[in-house]
Structure 1
Amino acid sequence: MDTISPSAGGSESGTAGKALTGHTGAGTAPETRGRTTIADSVVEKIAGMATREVPGIHSLGSGMARTLGAVTDKVPGGRPSMSRGVKVEVGERQAAVDLDVVVEYGVAIVDVAGDVRTSVITSVERMTGLEVVEVNITVDDVHLADEEDGEEGEGRVQ
């Protein structure tokens, strides 16, 4: 059975310069009708959630971003940012992810980084259909068990 093309020329050689993104009409599959665009913020949230699920990750974000985030998280009615410490570049078919993380003291950083890459790649590719070409991880700090989040230690003078 022949497929009917929307071009008037009838031959494919006469359609130079016209890009067809998919077939149209009642006989075509629904997934080929139209275009889906995924915002960077969506991929950032997915990557942030996937990173936080990995054992050994204490938090995301570097220095000032973590400090400001800790303050805004404590504001009544405020919600923690799932994309803090996450930057992404999203193309039509691919995505690249950059993460700033704080790990727990005592974990093997190389192993945690590998687990984070696996988690992020699996989650982003499964949920968005984008190919994750790289996940770059910067370990900004190590969290010690006796440290309080977002608070200064006691000074010597009271």
Structure 2
Amino acid sequence: MTETQQQSEAKTLGGKRGGGDPASRGRTTIADGVVEKIAGLAARDVVGVYAMGSGFARTLGAVRERVPGGGRTAPATRGVKAEVGEVQTALDLGIVVDYGVSITDVARSVRENVVAAVERMTGLEVVEVNIAVSDVKLPDEEDEEEEKEPRLQ
């Protein structure tokens, strides 16, 4: 067989294998928790966001974190709920903002950051990002999430 015949045969065989673009073979599914993690981390990056979740959710999360094996991913997804379809996703976020910041500016920045991160990393279209501001962190308030010294020794 000549070199030209070998190249021709290789092209013919290559054309018959699998058919089409390799990137289109099979399906990719993305779990709700993956999108929730991405959105939670993107929201926390915004200046003016003090914490994620309502006061109750943060308290429950802090308790879960203290239980062995109970809260390894809790901080990343706390305050975020995602509904993921095949090509689109919708997100609900609960945030606590720092006192003195413009809530509308923080909400706009959170939406922009979350949409950019989720769409870039997952390829899903983000159809909506609903934000519920549940509290304002005052400068003189103690940090709920900080480790407090034990009362008994």
Q: For this structure pair, what is the TM-score category when the shorter chain's length is used for normalisation?
A: 0.7 to 0.9
In structure 1, what is the equivalent of residue 134 of structure 2?
140
1:125 equivalenced with 2:123 (yes/no): no
Post-superposition offset of 1:145:
1.8
Partner of 1:39: 31
1:53 is aligned to 45
Find the aligned partners of 2:65 and 2:139 in 1 and give their Cα distance.
21
Q: How many residues align?
A: 128
Question: Contact conserved, 1:52 with 1:59, CA < 8 A, in 2?
Answer: yes
Q: Which has the higher helix share?
A: 2
1:96 offset after TM fit, Å?
Answer: 0.2
Amino acid across the alignment from 2:51:
S
Secondary structure in 1 matching 2:64: helix
Say if 2:84 is the partner of 1:106.
no
> Cα deviation per residue 1:92-145 (whole Å; 9 max; x = unaligned)?
000000000000000000000000000000000000000000000000000012
Judge which range, 46-55 or 68-77, deviates more: 68-77
Question: Which residue number corresponds to residue 93 of structure 1?
Answer: 87
- 1:68 aligns with 60
CA contact (8 A) 1:70 1:149 kept: no
Gaps of 5+ in 2: 1-15, 146-153
How far residue 148 of structure 1 moved from its aligned partner, in angstroms, is 1.4
Shifted more, 142-151 versus 89-98: the winner is 142-151
Question: Structure 1 residue 75: deviation in Å?
Answer: 5.7
What is the CA–CA distance in structure 2 between the aligned matches of 1:66 and 1:48, rounded to whole Å? 13
Letter in 2 for 1:93: V
How does the TM-score come out when normalised to structure 2? 0.76
RMSD of equivalent CA atoms: 2.0
Alpha-carbon distance change, 145 to 75 in structure 1, aligned in 2, over 3 angstroms: farther
Question: Secondary structure of the equivalent of 1:28?
Answer: coil
What TM-score comes out, normalization by structure 1 length?
Answer: 0.74
SS of residue matched to 2:75? coil
> What amino acid is aligned across from residue 65 of structure 1 in structure 2?
A
Quote the offset at 1:70 in angstroms.
Answer: 2.6
Opposite residue 115 of structure 2, the aligned amino acid is I
Unaligned runs of 5+ residues in structure 1 are: 1-23, 152-158
